[in-house]
Amino acid sequence: MTDRTPLMAGNWKMNLDHMQAAHLVQKLDWTLRDAKHDHAAVEVVVVPPYTDLRSVQTLVDGDKLALRYGAQDLSQHDSGAYTGEISGAFLARLGCTYVVVGHSERREHHGESDEVVAAKAAAAYRHGLTPVVCVGEGLEVRQAGEHVAHVVEQVRGSLAGLSEEQLATVVVAYEPVWAIGTGEVATPEDAQEVCAAIREELAQIASPEVADAVRVLYGGSVKSGNVAAIMAGADVDGALVGGASLDAEEFAAICRYQ
């Protein structure tokens, strides 16, 4: 089996101004340094709002921080008459490594379909960014016991058109909608079940080698107190963390989950 480097990504959503963002990045860096965090062993990523990215870039470049960062979304287009949209080219120039696509809040509030998500993932690759492609079922689907089929379908649609080479580096985040921001975390068994199904689907659409290399994250009310149990799942390679990533000490504790 490939050694997959665990990835802990903090999605700040629409929170913090650029001063608060700079403070959080600095505090996270100090806290991780104090804990002698090995960034090669567990990759740490922050995902601020677009308007904080320049501040984060200045700190990361200026102080040579080992943290990586990314954006919460991007346009499926590269440039042109798309008022209000942000091109992957802009994000690449701001030093982003990752970009989240298809977060359930984008799917729900902006009507993003799997097709749009796939177009955004392709746009990310055109600009050298790694997409973190989010999938996850709502409560009704879970209660109907159709969550695995639903998520597998989303994976197929949201990764459609990517080459095998691209699929080998994609990050997939399984985020059950009923667990996001609710305090209701999936059980470790629930998280493992769906992450394993995602990996099996990757083996079908690409190859077993690609499936083995891809990092599959869990997201939904992850905290320092529940992360170790979730990370124990053989197919869970990290976490996409919302609320808890706004507190430097809590997010640092999540990053050193062992």
Q: Which residues bind ligand PEP (CB under 6 A)?
A: 11, 13, 175, 180-181, 219-222, 240-244
The minimum distance between CB 220 and ligand PEP, in angstroms, equals: 5
Nearer to ligand PEP, 198 or 206 (CB): 198
- In sequence order, the 6+-apart residues with CB closer than 8 A to the CB of 40 are 5
Residue ranges of the annotated binding site for substrate are 11-13, 181, 221, 242-243
Of 105, 112, 137, 175, the catalytic one is: 175
Contact predicate 37/255, CB 8 Å? yes
The minimum distance between CB 98 and ligand PEP, in angstroms, equals: 13
User: Alpha-carbon distance 236 to 190, whole Å?
Assistant: 11
The minimum distance between CB 80 and ligand PEP, in angstroms, equals: 29
Residue nearest ligand PEP by beta-carbon distance: 242
Nearer to ligand PEP, 88 or 243 (CB): 243
User: Alpha-carbon distance 167 to 107, whole Å?
Assistant: 21
Nearer to ligand PEP, 11 or 206 (CB): 11
Of 103, 105, 147, 250, the catalytic one is: 103
Coil, helix or strand at residue 70: strand
User: Alpha-carbon distance 155 to 143, whole Å?
Assistant: 20
Nearer to ligand PEP, 206 or 239 (CB): 239
Beta strands per DSSP E along 33-159: 43-47, 68-71, 98-101, 130-135
Helices 248-255 and 18-34: crossing angle in degrees, nearest 10, is 40
The minimum distance between CB 209 and ligand PEP, in angstroms, equals: 28
**Two tokens at 20?**
């608060």
DSSP-assigned letter for residue 246:
G
Q: Is 175 a catalytic residue?
A: yes
- In sequence order, the 6+-apart residues with CB closer than 8 A to the CB of 177 are 104, 108, 136, 137, 138, 139
Active site residues: 103, 175
